[in-house]
Structure 1
Amino acid sequence: MLYAASDGRPLPIDFTGWDLQGAKAYLSKTRTKLGTVDKKAVKACKPGSVVAVNPHTPKTVMAGDTVDLTLCAD
């Protein structure tokens, strides 16, 4: 995810491998909203960890925007 910081600079944030609670906490810090949370079967990932984010780079996310997460299925 590419987040537009308050000074206008893009800040890349890689949620890959984060657990849902950690991702939620960071979304809260960036004042973005958690949207849909889906699960997807992906090889060699830790169940419950983030495997995808939407919108993803190069789209820039700003405070107030909604971010969808896809987690590794159990």
Structure 2
Amino acid sequence: MDKFEEAQKLKELGELTQSMELFKELVCEAPDNASYQYHCACAHDRLGFEREAVPYYEAALQLGLHTEENRGLF
């Protein structure tokens, strides 16, 4: 299982803090990946860190998202 899959699995299991930390690592490793930015933003949102989520959402928008993720963003 790669890091993205692990972060998704943790999210599904309700381990939101651990999931967010993995998404943050992914963003650091690949800052030009819009999907990582989007999922990192969502993780922050779910934990109530809305302000901290904004830069990740903005980066995801600037980088471009796949259609289904784009719908989730808006």
Q: TM-score, normalised by structure 2?
A: 0.29
* Highest RCO, 1 vs 2 (Cα 8 Å, sep ≥ 6): 1
The structure where helix makes up a greater share of residues is 2
Q: TM-score, normalised by structure 1?
A: 0.29
The structure where strand makes up a greater share of residues is 1
